[in-house]
Structure 1
Amino acid sequence: MTSNHQITDLNILTEILPVFNYTNNPFAEQVLSELLIQPLPSIAHIGERQQILKGFVKNYPFLKSYNYSRAAFAEVYQFIQTQDRPFSGSSIFTSKAQKREQQVLMNAYAQFVLFFEELLRKWITMINLSVFPGTYKAALETIHQQLTDFDLPYYAGLINEQQFGEKAVKQLSAKVIARKQDGGWQRFWPVFFRFEAYTSISLAVVRKGFAFPALGTGPIAIRDLYHPLLNEPVKNDIVLAKNVGLLTGPNMAGKSTLLKAIGLCVFLAHTGVAVPASAAEIPFFDHIAVFINHRDDLQNGYSHFMYEIKNLKHLILEAAAGKRCFAVFDELFKGTNSADALAITCSTLEGMHRFEDSCFFVSTHLHELKTQPVVTSNTVHVLHIDCIIENGSPRFTYKLEDGWSDLKIGRLLFEAEGLYELLRKHSSS
């Protein structure tokens, strides 16, 4: 899997991370971010990640209430980081100021006990390990073993009975410091943060009804596809009959949103995460690129059109090198004149078709493409998003259909906003 995926336009960290984010501390959230933005290198790796997440999904009855205080975690985490010697207790020579400091320390150990005892009792101990692959089962056992070693139920009982004194704190602090000295905490935290990130993903999968896709070599086939940011989405089925999908439809019909949903589904599938659909079969790709937000590259002095050309060239070179590429282009070559756009779009679609192991989605505003050989010969799979004109106004259905859309609503929208009248009034004044 190449590392130069061009997926900025999917807005993974700004829009998709919140969909999956049920974490309770910033470290787990960072791990979650990394899981969502880094595709896995093979179908085997994806399958293993899916099996881990499916294990968490099966444990949803126990994990659905997973939650703790962010403030409590921050205090406990910082406390552990700052402890470097065991609690010494007080003596007849201990000053009042030292006794106050020791009481603060004892309270911190009590908070340590209550935080981890609840975590262990309510969630870690309850997890069914048998549903996880062996490689990850060991990680869960690491969490359980480290917390069990602190004898947390015993110390929690002392706290509840108000018997958590200096003797108990001395015993507990010796264990905490020992784990710090032998690297136990250093090993524990990454495993715990990943556990919470996986838990977070599984909570989103169950609550939002996402599905784990099948990864293979066949065509893209997705049932009930939608974008997870939509409150009341219209869900669509798509089975791509060719390796190039050409999407048409009027402005505001939902082409960009659909392309984002397709790109997101393919990308998330490669991270091993469930996707916003009821079922999906998705090929494995080496390189994924999604170009939806039209922009200039000011740093390199490229116009939007030149930026498209550069991106397309990079993609074609990847495919020509034998990489299995997936790419989405929204309104390809919108930044040049219609004559040039028509000619180079035809060449682009014909060329893309030759890379049989790759898959491309292209939306277009060029109605003249309909009569071009690349379309009439069924070289590409033509699709459109339906729109109905009722009483002179467009009604957007957001339903994906096969075939070409001849509908043009630009003048209808122009008139609906009263621009004809406004411009006439202005010209006569």
Structure 2
Amino acid sequence: MSFYVDKQTQEDLNLLGRYKNNSIVRLFDETVTTGGRKLLEKMFQEPLTDPDSINKRTSIFSYFSTQPISFPFSTEEFEVVENYLASNGSENIFDAGLGIAYKKVLYVLANDKDYEQLNLEICNTIGLLIRFSDFIAQFSANTNNPYSENLELIRRIYSHPKLQWLKSQDGVKDIPLFKLIRYDYLLRTILHKEMQVLSSIVFDLDVCIAISQVAVKRGFSYANALAGNANKLSITGLYHPCIAQAIGNDLSLIENSNVLFLTGANMAGKSTLMKSFGISMYLAHMGFPVAAHRMEFSVKDGLYTSINVPDNLEMGYSHFYAEVLRVKKVAEEVAESKDLIVIFDELFKGTNVKDAYDATLSITEAFSEHSNCFFMISTHIIEVAHELSKRCDNFQFIYLPTVMDGVVPRYTYKLTQGITEDRQGMIIIENEGIIDIIKNTHHSSSVTSTI
């Protein structure tokens, strides 16, 4: 069973799309091979819910983070071999031989390039297979190595009796016709299954090295997954993975304290913090490194966010109604007793303050009773926070403060316990001179009209 994340959540957190600016998959995509890139994208689409599987993947990435290595092939050279090994050879060696011999005749008589290309592909494949064998030899295959299972499988493939000719062809640039027929038949027919397994391991290794190098370069850490019934989350030094020199914050949730209620002024960093939290939970369920100093979490069934809910003009939905439908969707999922992480950024900002107050209060209180789920909810309406503090004992009230340097606001981006009393909206408006602009425009129009 895969950890569930819907399209709205993917968009809110900018998870997918390797060509999208600042997407999370793009952040990690330092793969070299086409197969490695596809595997990375598959991992992003299928996060895990089994703590043992998550921790196993984490241990592999962590292992490669300690190895001073780089992927041993370039994109261009492996692409040729990747395409060659992916194609099926003839089941009959005589048919295969006749086909290659015919290419050789065309090459001699008409300078046709197919024979020359095949010769190059096989030479490149031999060279790459030898280099990969030498590369793998540097790793220890003892049982303490979390990658030992794949290392042992690689060594079994290379010890296959039909592959013992390989080392003798190191450095070969041109292969005689009959050897070419034999090698092509062995690689693409007799050993086709083994070559596909080996290719899959190369793709997996490509991803492992890429992810581990990103983790080292950016200072990410690896989370520890716990069974779902532990119902626990602890993050130290959480920050957004795409923000350089970001300020870290600590978060913790348990069953009897399962709601983080966040207040703070605009620009104080609430949305960024909430996205950071959602991204870390998603990556942790993938077994990927997270942007935090330390993280331990109980696995959940899925993640839902409501951060940038768009209106829907085709369906005739206003922004407020789109928000309502989003909350309804999450409510239905929570009501099915699923263990979820839910992130709501400023509920019901598309309606008037009175309705937003009433709806945020009643819906947040109702959600909080589902102690198997973890919630992070933000609001501008601090009166809601004060009322919830009287009604509920399973809330953590936190805020991101604004410090005033005279009339200029400064944001610390550092979480503080409690409920904010910051109300600097009008100060910011006045600092930008908006009222003066409007008044001066009106005054200028009046003068022009009089003249």
TM class, shorter-length: 0.7 to 0.9
Partner SS for 2:413: strand
Q: Which residue of 2 aligns with 1:411?
A: 426
Contact 1:89 1:166 (C-alpha < 8 Å) held by counterparts: no
Residue 263 in structure 1 maps to residue 273 in structure 2: no
Residue 153 in structure 1 maps to residue 161 in structure 2: no
In structure 2, what is the Cα distance between the partners aligned to 1:209 and 1:277? 8
| Shift, 1:133, TM fit | 7.3
| Shift, 1:27, TM fit | 2.1
Partner SS for 2:372: coil
Q: Which residue of 2 aligns with 1:52?
A: 60
Q: Which residue of 1 aligns with 2:329?
A: 314
| Shift, 1:230, TM fit | 0.3
| Shift, 1:38, TM fit | 1.6
- The one-letter amino acid of 1:126's match is Q
Residue 20 in structure 1 maps to residue 36 in structure 2: no
In structure 2, what is the Cα distance between the partners aligned to 1:42 and 1:185? 30
Contact 1:55 1:132 (C-alpha < 8 Å) held by counterparts: no
Q: Which residue of 1 aligns with 2:376?
A: 361
Q: Which moved more, 1:164-173 or 1:330-339?
A: 164-173
In structure 2, what is the Cα distance between the partners aligned to 1:89 and 1:137? 44
Q: Which residue of 1 aligns with 2:186?
A: 175
Contact 2:86 2:196 (C-alpha < 8 Å) held by counterparts: no
Residue 118 in structure 1 maps to residue 131 in structure 2: yes
Residue 130 in structure 1 maps to residue 135 in structure 2: no
Residue 73 in structure 1 maps to residue 78 in structure 2: yes
| Shift, 1:168, TM fit | 4.5
| Shift, 1:400, TM fit | 1.1
Partner SS for 2:131: helix
- The one-letter amino acid of 2:5's match is H
Give the TM-score normalised by the residue count of structure 2: 0.84
Count of residue pairs brought into register by the alignment: 420
- The one-letter amino acid of 1:45's match is S
- The one-letter amino acid of 2:187's match is V
| Shift, 1:112, TM fit | 1.9
| Shift, 1:223, TM fit | 0.6
Q: Which moved more, 1:166-175 or 1:392-401?
A: 166-175
In structure 1, what is the Cα distance between the partners aligned to 2:32 and 2:106? 42
| Shift, 1:79, TM fit | 3.0
Contact 2:127 2:171 (C-alpha < 8 Å) held by counterparts: no
Kindly report which structure 2 residues correspond to 1:304-343, keeping only aligned pairs within 5 A, or say none.
304-343=319-358
| Shift, 1:170, TM fit | 4.1
Residue 207 in structure 1 maps to residue 220 in structure 2: no
Contact 2:103 2:114 (C-alpha < 8 Å) held by counterparts: no
Distance 1:318 1:90, change over 3 A: closer
Which of 11, 14, 17 lines up with 2:14 in the alignment?
11
Contact 2:398 2:417 (C-alpha < 8 Å) held by counterparts: yes
In structure 2, what is the Cα distance between the partners aligned to 1:187 and 1:111? 18
In structure 2, what is the Cα distance between the partners aligned to 1:425 and 1:320? 55
Distance 1:396 1:152, change over 3 A: farther
Contact 2:2 2:47 (C-alpha < 8 Å) held by counterparts: no
Give the TM-score normalised by the residue count of structure 1: 0.88
In structure 1, what is the Cα distance between the partners aligned to 2:294 and 2:262? 22
In structure 2, what is the Cα distance between the partners aligned to 1:74 and 1:22? 16
Contact 1:55 1:131 (C-alpha < 8 Å) held by counterparts: no
Distance 1:99 1:340, change over 3 A: closer
Contact 1:155 1:168 (C-alpha < 8 Å) held by counterparts: no
Distance 1:147 1:71, change over 3 A: farther
Q: Which residue of 2 aligns with 1:399?
A: 414
Partner SS for 1:399: coil
Distance 1:221 1:101, change over 3 A: closer
In structure 2, what is the Cα distance between the partners aligned to 1:334 and 1:93? 73
In structure 1, what is the Cα distance between the partners aligned to 2:286 and 2:121? 39
Partner SS for 2:121: helix
Contact 1:12 1:37 (C-alpha < 8 Å) held by counterparts: no
In structure 2, what is the Cα distance between the partners aligned to 1:334 and 1:132? 53
Partner SS for 1:412: helix
Deviations 1:101-154 (A, max 9, x none): 5344323322222233223323x22222335678x6444433444456544432
- The one-letter amino acid of 2:211's match is I
- The one-letter amino acid of 1:18's match is R
In structure 2, what is the Cα distance between the partners aligned to 1:131 and 1:411? 64
Distance 1:413 1:230, change over 3 A: same
| Shift, 1:10, TM fit | 1.3
Contact 2:233 2:296 (C-alpha < 8 Å) held by counterparts: yes
- The one-letter amino acid of 1:97's match is A
Q: Which residue of 1 aligns with 2:447?
A: none
Partner SS for 1:350: helix
In structure 2, what is the Cα distance between the partners aligned to 1:329 and 1:248? 12
In structure 2, what is the Cα distance between the partners aligned to 1:72 and 1:148? 24
